[in-house]
A and B are shown apart, each in its own frame.
Chain A
Amino acid sequence: MNTVKQLIAILFVSVAATSAFAALKFDSDVPKSIQTQMVEDLAFMNQVTGSAQTPFHKEIFTSLDGKAYQTFFESRIFSVGVDACGGGAAVACVQPFFDPNKMWLTENFINFSHPQVARVMVVYHEARHSETKNGNWMHANCPRPFLDVNGKDMVSIWTGAKLEGQPACDAKYQGSYGSSTIMLKNISKYCSNCNDKVKMDADIYAMDQLNRISKPAVKQSMLADFAN
């Protein structure tokens, strides 16, 4: 009888854990700490409400609220695994040739001390790469030369190394860099239930991502969009 009770207890725990992650299926080898962080980060996004949005945001995400963000994510990513994503400092990846609707997280997702907004930005950036019908929004090579509005070389913010020629740019605002920039900038400006740190972080990381837009006209159109 004790065995039956234990089995019932195991079954109950399994059902409870499964329902907590009902919308997203984690592989069994994804560490609980990564699952918990991912679920908490997505839960944060799912409760965001906004007072307004820019036209580009409306085009990509439909509205600035948790339901729209949840739909965006869950219609693109169905399962989550753990992988090295090519190694190095990668935090997450989508490998379209392998499974376009699966996101892989690395241990860096929790080992690196990114603000929550940065983690969210990374997973939404990767979710955009799942869109097979849009060629997975593959990144463009940054042009040579890759200059800012002042005619200076666009460089790595840290090392000062030039970004020209690197496959780390988007030519369109709808790409992964562009869409995550638009999402963050809108959260920074219009989120009505985000605290001050979240809004600051959204602004800081949005401005960094904006630097990855390679065409000056597209960048200008995004800045004009943000001014709405």
Chain B
Amino acid sequence: MGALLVAGLFFVVRYFDSEASNEQRALKPSQVDFTKSNQVQETSVSPIAGSNFEGDDIIEAPGALNQREQKLWIAVESILRTKNDSDPRVNDLKELSADFHKALFEKYNKLKMEDRNGRGFIVFLVAKNLKSSEDLDFLQKVYQEAPCLSLENCAVSGNDDSHSAGVNQTTTIYPQLVGLYQIEKQLAANPELLNDPTMRAGILATLKQAEAFPVPAIHNFAEKIRQKFKL
């Protein structure tokens, strides 16, 4: 019986090995070079650094937060790490305290410039719940940043082909787009926000700052919002 099991396993392992080696023999599109007689070109796929997905239990929430917000903070950190934007806990992240917003500002500054989705997520959480001049000061700083030139390295211009340039360029300005999207959404749903002189001045200053951002799409979006709400 044992011998039969070992023999069976031997053939199964041989089968998987054979499948893997067949796959390795097949060329990829980039390996086919008709000008060089289909020579196989060297390819390398390196493991991605920082792609670990630990559990939520090792996340530490800022001590200033109450028990409810400590749980919410763990959700924020978890979503940032897993890149799982569709996490249903996103909708629980509302009516957040000033301390929570402060922790978000600090978190934003710790994220790499290239973490466009992470930074945009923080802007989303702050801008969808604007309630203080500190929130608007934070947003203005988002529009004072140097534009991210490429997703690989924000400090260096990339090599976008026209086919994928739309999605890539949208992501490079994602934090700035999110801020304006949420301001427009809030003003549409709650125009009386502008009756508060502090909020009105802060929103206007933020839109003016966004208009100075040296990317046409952001400039135009901010201008459109300012005109729409007669600011």
Contact = CB atoms under 8 A, between A and B. Distances in A.
Q: Are A and B subunits of one complex?
A: yes
B106 to A, nearest CB: 19
Which 3 pairs across A and B sit closest by C-beta, in order of nearness?
A: A168-B162, A158-B169, A157-B217
Contacts of B120: 115
Interface stretch (A51-59, A69-77, A82-90, A214-222): A82-90
A95 interface: yes
B171 A115 contact: yes
B47 A8 contact: no
Contacts of A223: none
A1 B160 CA distance: 56
- Chain B binding site: helix, strand, loop or mixed by DSSP? helix
B28 interface: yes
A228 interface: no
A11 B164 CA distance: 40
Contacts of A110: 48, 51
Given A89-B159, A196-B90, 6 more contacts: A29-B24, A33-B51, A87-B159, A118-B171, A157-B170, A163-B162
Given A10-B13, A88-B161, A114-B167, A196 B128 contact: yes
Interface of A: 4, 7-8, 10-11, 14, 27-31, 33-34, 36-37, 40, 44, 81-91, 93, 95, 98, 104, 107-108, 110-118, 121-122, 139, 155-160, 163, 166-168, 193-198, 200-201, 203-205, 208-209, 211-212
A31 B87 CA distance: 24
Given A40-B84, A89-B151, A83 B48 contact: no
Contact of B117 (A31, A90, A114): A114
Choose among B47, B150, B167 the residue with the greatest number of A CB atoms under 10 Å from its CB. Answer: B167
Contacts of B90: 195-198
Contacts of A8: 9
Interface of B: 2, 5-6, 9, 12-13, 16, 20, 23-24, 28-30, 32, 43, 45-48, 51, 53, 82-88, 90-91, 114-118, 120-121, 124, 128, 147, 150-152, 158-174, 177-178, 181-182, 215-217
A59 B47 CA distance: 41
B150 A89 contact: yes
B16 A14 contact: yes
B153 to A, nearest CB: 11
B164 to A, nearest CB: 6
Nearest to A114: B171
A116 B9 contact: no
Contacts of A95: 29
A157 B167 contact: no
A75 to B, nearest CB: 22
B163 A158 contact: no
A115 B90 CA distance: 14
Nearest to A209: B166
Given A122-B167, A198-B86, A158 B48 contact: no
B23 A89 contact: no
B28 A104 contact: yes
Contacts of A114: 116-117, 151, 167, 171
